[in-house]
Amino acid sequence: MKEHLKHDLEQINHLLDIIKKQGVEYLKLIGARPTSVNHIPLWETQNLPESGYGTEETLKIFNQRFEPIMVGSSGPRYLGFVTGGTTPASVAGDWLTSIYDQNTQSTIGQGDISANIELETIHLILELLGLPDSFLGGFVTGATMSNFTCLGVARQWVGKEQGKDIAKEGISGLIKILTATPHSSSIKSLSLLGLGSNNIVKVKTAEGEREAICIRDLEDQMIKLNGEPFILISSGGTVNTVDFDDFMEIKKLKEQYNFWWHIDAAFGGFAACSETHSHLVKGWEYADSITVDCHKWLNVPYESAVFLIKEQYKILQVETFQNSNAPYLGDPLENFGYLNFLPENSRRLKALPAWFSLMAYGREGYKNIINQNISLANQFGQLLERSNDFKLLAPVRLNTVCFTLKDSEKQDEVGRFLETLNDTGKVFMTPTFYNGHSGIRAAFVNWMTGENDIQLIFETMNEVITQLK
Ligand SMILES: Cc1ncc(COP(=O)(O)O)c(C=O)c1O
């Protein structure tokens, strides 16, 4: 092992060169890389080698066993889930994150300065999204963890309103959560936080087959709570049909009722970058906390998301996340350190890929990516609407197209169609269920996707549907 380490260090230049070459080839040909593996081969799990192989030999093993079946998930025709691409600058930042391997914690005192880079990146994100600096933010692994972090502080806020310190005392009694169409990750967070996913008060959705919250019913539910503090989870883009709650109306309710307002804007928040769509998030700055994913529309590698929580709740945040039995860490309110403001203690410099990308492409660059994806989603939606075989399940509001087979008798075949389509390896989409229909979602969140991809996708869909007839 020692020999391998010594040799690897001596050969580091050569090793990084061959990795770079392989990475460049992958990125250059990513458009041609299959978007799925039809049948994941059965392989024998290998045992831990006694003295190891060294890096070059290990790369050969990786290339033999795994590389050929890696899918082009950051490529232009991967429209599954809400999977963002990776900009070249973000890849550069990501590589350097590993090279420098900082443990990102405090902004003052002895130690490294990576937390300052993180705070600066949060400032850049707030600027990009047109949000005020009154939000304190940080990086976590994804929108799930961001929802968890925000709802953790919301829980502490409700406790304080009820005269309890939940972080110290634990939960006693019910905390009501009002929401209409929450993402599954918020429900998961409620379970994790001991708030209980059953304690949701399901608010009606707005009329007209919408997923957005019905403001009238929301107010009715608030009245029923009779002054009891509660949490509202609202949607800044539902995952199925990208519907947005009316934030200006919620702002008005906030002036009258006592609640913590959380917005899950994992990808929809980027509507703020587009002149034609920024109205969708109008008023979101009045929320107490917001979730924004960076590995989606910011196009940085997994795992990257931010929580944005109003700085005025700093104390509640510290109460929730502080390492209270470690006096050597100092007073968290005086010595800012991320480890007292979010779930993880040790953490890599997650902000660096985002910092690189924001600095490299700026406001204009992101505006172009967002507008391009919106335009492509609309073009794709129009093709479907004009076709004899497909129909939209919801209007294209932003960047996602939710559709199904036109023939309502063929509902049972939606799954088979999608499986066959994904098996082509030319495009990847995800199944869904919406408004009583089996459906398909195609999410446009990749800077590389172009009009030629839309044509290729549509042609492939037509080939598959003809083949299945
Ligand atoms: C609205 C919304 N919230 C939360 C999530 C969860 O994101 P992540 O997978 O990054 O945890 C998603 C993922 O698609 C989402 O669309």
Residue 2 binned pLDDT confidence (cut-offs 50, 70, 90): confident
Q: Which residue has the higher pLDDT, 196 or 43?
A: 196
How is the chain split into domains, by residue range?
Answer: 91-356
List pLDDT tens digits, range 345-363.
999 999 999 999 999 999 9
Contacts by 344-347, CB closer than 8 A, 24 or more apart: 344/140, 346/103, 347/103, 347/104, 347/105, 347/139
For the domain bounded by 91-356, which CATH number is listed? 3.40.640.10
Quick check: CB of 441 below 6 Å from ligand 1?
A: no
**Position 1 pLDDT exceeds 70:** no
Query: How many C-beta atoms surround the C-beta of residue 297 within 10 A?
Result: 30
| Residue 453 identity (one-letter amino acid) | D
Instruction: For residue 296, give the ligand 1 atom closest to its CA.
Output: 10
Quick check: CB of 144 below 6 Å from ligand 1?
A: yes
Q: How far apart are CA 451 and CA 395, in angstroms?
A: 20
Q: Please choose, from the candidates 180, 186, 176, 182, the residue with its C-alpha nearest in 3D space to the C-alpha of residue 231.
A: 176
**Position 408 pLDDT exceeds 90:** no
Q: Spell 442-451 as b/e; 16+ CB within 10 A means b.
A: bbbbbbbbee
**Mean pLDDT, the chain, whole residue set:** 96
**Position 326 pLDDT exceeds 90:** no
Q: How far is the CA of 143 from the centre of ligand 1 (A)?
A: 5
Of the candidate ranges 106-120, 280-294, 372-386, 388-402, the one whose mean pLDDT is the lowest: 106-120
pLDDT score for 450: 98
Helices (H), 162-290: 166-169, 184-192, 215-225, 247-256
Q: How far is the CA of 14 from the centre of ligand 1 (A)?
A: 39
Distances in Å between the alpha carbon of 149 and those of 29, 64, 145, 341, 419? 38, 40, 6, 9, 36
Q: How far is the CA of 146 from the centre of ligand 1 (A)?
A: 9
- Eight-state DSSP code of residue 393: S
Our CA angle for 163, 169, 172, nearest 5°, is 70
Q: Which residue has the higher pLDDT, 408 or 210?
A: 210
Residue nearest to atom 4 of ligand 1 (CA): 143
The verdict on whether omega for the bond into residue 207 sits within 30 degrees of 0, i.e. cis, is no
Q: Please choose, from the candidates 43, 75, 73, 36, the residue with its C-alpha nearest in 3D space to the C-alpha of residue 61.
A: 43
pLDDT score for 385: 97
> Can you read off the two tokens belonging to residue 219?
């107010």
Quick check: CB of 298 below 6 Å from ligand 1?
A: no
Give the 3-state secondary structure of residue 446. Answer: coil
Residues 428-449, mean pLDDT to the nearest whole number: 97
Quick check: CB of 233 below 6 Å from ligand 1?
A: no
Q: How far apart are CA 123 and CA 359, in angstroms?
A: 12
